């Protein structure tokens, strides 16, 4: 093991190499005609594109500028938008952050990017799903606002008559994102989730003072309840460098107790990876030392509340507290965890499964 300040490259890179930003081959539209001769490229466009994607996944502006300096991409917003929309292997999280940046040039780029989507014939939720599929919404509220403003404007231009104005699509878009979080977050108990009546009531008068048809809002609610819109990050959204840093920084979980007479069923626990070790620490008890498990000792990953410890604590797969649970089997014992978000559950379980397979 090393100390916790070790470089992120010390994390098991072989278990993250399958990510789209790192190991997947990048591809885009047919190679464009060079737009300048700032630097005469020696490598092929495909080779240059691989370099650009890696640079983009670390710092988006560097990836774009790399292709521009190599003469494969112009500074026109439409050309950059085409690159962002068509190139495979770009980090979805980095793409969302880049699209939401402020400034006149970025506003033109965002507008050009959004207008590459065809929403004709799609329902409102269907359009949101199509729109959010290639990237992840950034965490900064102002960036989300800019992105959703452009979405709303483009949707009403392609679906005339659905709403009285783009403002309606904008407000309902945010309402849908909030409903999606409310319906699918493991941190919200079932009894506290928004009902259909709540959703309809919250959206009264948003269409230039008038109510939207009840059947439209009912259909939106049912669609989201049935099928979550993935707005957070997943393993495949992140480049290799991002994943290495993610595992080095770690995440907070609920760790379920083995002891039958424990006062609480679970406590907060931080997990992170250093070199070839999984480390974890009890956050609920001051002074508790961190523990370590060699990654090579993890025998299997149990998805869901499938272990004896979960059974003993009354956690069932069909219950609301059974979401995002998994167990690591090590030497006949289990480490029984619940992720705080579906995204973290997906990233960590994917990683542990790759560790076991390798």
Residue 86 annotated to the active site? no
DSSP string, 156-218: HHHSTTSSSSHHHHHHHHHHHHHHHHHHH-TTS-GGGSPPHHHHHHHTTTTBTTBPPPHHHHH
What are the start-end ranges of the E strands in 238-296? 251-256, 266-274, 277-282, 291-294
Give the integer Cα–Cα distance in Å for 238 and 22: 8
Catalytic residue selected from 6, 140, 228, 245: 140
Within 13 Å and on the Cβ side, how many CA atoms surround 224?
A: 29
Query: Could you tell me the two tokens for 91?
Result: 């980090």
Query: Could you tell me the two tokens for 248?
Result: 């080095």
For helices 166-184 and 124-132, what crossing angle results, to 10°? Answer: 70
Nearest of 210, 180, 220 to residue 341 by alpha carbon: 180
Give the integer Cα–Cα distance in Å for 63 and 70: 11
Residues noted as catalytic: 140
């Amino acid at each position: 093991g090393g100390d916790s300040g070790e470089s992120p490259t010390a994390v098991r890179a072989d278990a993250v190499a399958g990510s789209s930003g790192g190991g997947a081959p990048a591809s885009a539209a047919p190679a464009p005609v060079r737009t300048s001769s700032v630097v005469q490229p020696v490598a092929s466009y495909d080779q240059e594109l691989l370099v650009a994607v890696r640079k983009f996944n670390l710092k988006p502006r560097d990836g774009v500028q790399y292709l521009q300096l190599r003469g494969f991409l112009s500074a026109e917003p439409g050309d950059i938008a085409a690159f962002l929309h068509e190139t495979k292997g770009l980090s979805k999280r980095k793409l969302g952050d880049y699209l939401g940046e402020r400034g006149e040039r970025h506003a033109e780029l965002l507008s050009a990017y959004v207008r590459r989507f065809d929403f004709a014939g799609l329902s409102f939720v269907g359009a949101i799903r199509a729109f959010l599929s290639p990237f992840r919404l950034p965490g900064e509220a102002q960036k989300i606002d800019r992105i959703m403003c452009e979405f709303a404007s483009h949707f009403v231009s392609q679906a005339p008559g659905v709403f009285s104005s783009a403002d309606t699509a904008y407000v309902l878009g945010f309402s849908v994102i909030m409903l999606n979080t409310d319906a699918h977050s493991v941190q919200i108990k079932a009894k506290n989730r928004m009902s259909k009546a709540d959703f309809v009531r919250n959206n009264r008068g948003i269409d230039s003072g008038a109510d939207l048809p009840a059947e439209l809002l009912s259909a939106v609610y049912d669609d989201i309840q049935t099928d979550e819109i993935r707005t957070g990050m997943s393993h495949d959204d992140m480049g290799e460098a991002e994943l290495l840093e993610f595992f080095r920084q770690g995440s907070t979980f609920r760790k379920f107790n083995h002891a039958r007479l424990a006062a609480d069923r679970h406590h907060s626990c931080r997990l992170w990876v250093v070199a070839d070790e999984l480390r974890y620490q009890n956050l609920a008890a001051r002074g508790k030392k961190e523990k370590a498990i060699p990654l090579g000792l993890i025998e299997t990953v149990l998805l869901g509340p499938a272990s004896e410890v979960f059974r003993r604590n009354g956690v069932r797969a069909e219950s609301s507290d059974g979401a995002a649970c998994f167990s690591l089997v090590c030497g006949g014992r289990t480490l029984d965890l619940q992720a705080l978000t579906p995204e973290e559950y997906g990233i960590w379980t994917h990683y542990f499964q790759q560790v076991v397979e390798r």
